[in-house]
Amino acid sequence: MRMKYVLSEVLVGLWRNVTMTIAMIITMAVSLFMLGGSGLLYQKVGDMKDLYYENVEVSIFLTQEVTEQQRADLDSKLKSDPMVKEVLYVDKQQAYERFQQMYADAPDLVNAVKPDQLPESFRLKLNNPEQYKNIYDQYKESEGVDEIVDQSKLLDKVFGVLTGFQNGALAIAIVMAIAALLLVANTIQVAAYSKRREVAVMKLVGASNWFIQAPFVLEAVVAGLLGSILGLVALAVLKVTAAGSSLAALEGLITPVSWGEIFLIFPLMAGVGAVVSAGTAWVTLRFYLRV
């Protein structure tokens, strides 16, 4: 019976100030949508880093005039280097085969290039791809080395952009969360004011604090949960529309977001929505109800 009373108070409270309730839910939804998006991007970037860095190579190209001795020195130095996991030597002939493969579509280009023109190289896999800089510094000045190319540099740029998106979404999520928080505080103040007589009587006759506060706090929590559901719907809509749009072109680069991942991010959104609302409501009540 008390539960029924509290729940009916919650519904009445949400309905009494319905414009404010809608504003609260929408703000909450946008904030949580951004939070969810940011969370998904964070996961994606993590996944992709694992995937790409695993296969990333550092190539040390040798000059045309490299001597037998220089090559052997370099080879043994690389093989004993603790930063290096794997060393693969690619001679001119192998480089040519790779080149042929890569440009199989352009036979003219392949015909124009002789194996002799392609540089020999060492292909390295590093234990830690982020140690590229050290490799670069160490071998740049070695004799016979022409150029050191790190694939991870390109990846860094891609990941930089993605991380930028992620931080942007997070920033928007935080700003919207502040707006949602202020709306919750305001809604609770209005609700507490419109129920001030009831609250005064309840305090007088000894209703417990939780009983007095619960309807207000739950009102905010319900709004927060509705906001998170709307945010989830927005994420789902984004996934569906993105599949058929220009974003699909990125499919090869960015691993696609699965439904499972979207639904897994929902508890985070709902949790943050509910906790932030409840916390704000509770703090507001401390100031405006003084039970």
Partner 1 sequence: MTKTYPKASRPSLDNVSVSIEKGEFVFFIGPSGSGKSTIIKMLLHEVTPNKGRVVVNGKDVTSMRSWKRPHFRRSIGCVFQDFRLLPNRTAYENVAFALEVIGKTKAVARRVVPEVLELVGLGGKEHRYPHELSGGEQQRVAVARAFVNRPLILLADEPTGNLDPDTSIEIMRLLDRINRTGTTVVMVTHDSNIVNQMRRRVIEIESGRIVRDQARGVYG
Residues lying near partner 1 in the complex (CB under 8 A): 1-2, 5, 197-198, 200-209, 211-212
Task: Output the smallest distance, CB 206 to partner 1, in A.
Answer: 3
Write the CB contacts of 242 (distance below 8 Å, at least 6 apart in sequence): 248
Question: In the sheet where 145-150 sits, what is the strand order?
Answer: 84-90, 121-126, 58-62, 145-150
Selection from 283, 287, 270, 272 nearest residue 184 by Cα: 283
Q: Which is nearer to partner 1, 18 or 204 (CB)?
A: 204
- Residue 120, CB-side half-sphere exposure with 13 Å CA sphere: 19
Q: Which is nearer to partner 1, 75 or 198 (CB)?
A: 198
Q: Which is nearer to partner 1, 194 or 258 (CB)?
A: 194
DSSP 258: P
Q: Which is nearer to partner 1, 112 or 204 (CB)?
A: 204
CA distance 29 to 177: 9
Write the CB contacts of 163 (distance below 8 Å, at least 6 apart in sequence): 45
Task: Output the smallest distance, CB 201 to partner 1, in A.
Answer: 6
Max CA-CA distance within the chain? 98
Task: Output the smallest distance, CB 233 to partner 1, in A.
Answer: 37
Q: Which is nearer to partner 1, 26 or 202 (CB)?
A: 202
Q: Which is nearer to partner 1, 157 or 196 (CB)?
A: 196
Task: Output the smallest distance, CB 282 to partner 1, in A.
Answer: 14
Task: Output the smallest distance, CB 18 to partner 1, in A.
Answer: 19
- 253 is written with which tokens? 């680069």
DSSP 144: T
CA distance 155 to 51: 11
Task: Output the smallest distance, CB 193 to partner 1, in A.
Answer: 15
